[in-house]
Amino acid sequence: MTTVNPQITDAVTQTNTTVLCNAPSQAIATLYQLSAHALGLAMHNAVSNQQNLNQLNPAIVAQAIQLLKS
């Protein structure tokens, strides 16, 4: 049986520990970025919908006035 150099096992253990310690902060950072992006898209859609309704309002008002006159 061949023994593994203790320095190699120590290096692998240190790397695994570093990865496991960094994973939660990486996950939270990704969550924050995705949440900010989703919020930005929601705001963009809200502004776009408001602009579309603002374009329709004159036609709706004109139609309502025409219905009231007749």
pLDDT tens string 1-58: 778 888 888 888 888 888 888 889 999 999 999 999 999 999 999 999 999 999 999 9
Q: Which residue reads 């309002």 in tokens?
A: 57
2 vs 6: CA distance, rounded Å:
12
36 vs 13: CA distance, rounded Å:
35
pLDDT confidence tier of residue 70, bands split at 50, 70 and 90: confident
Residue 63 has pLDDT above 90, yes or no: yes
Rg (CA), the chain: 30
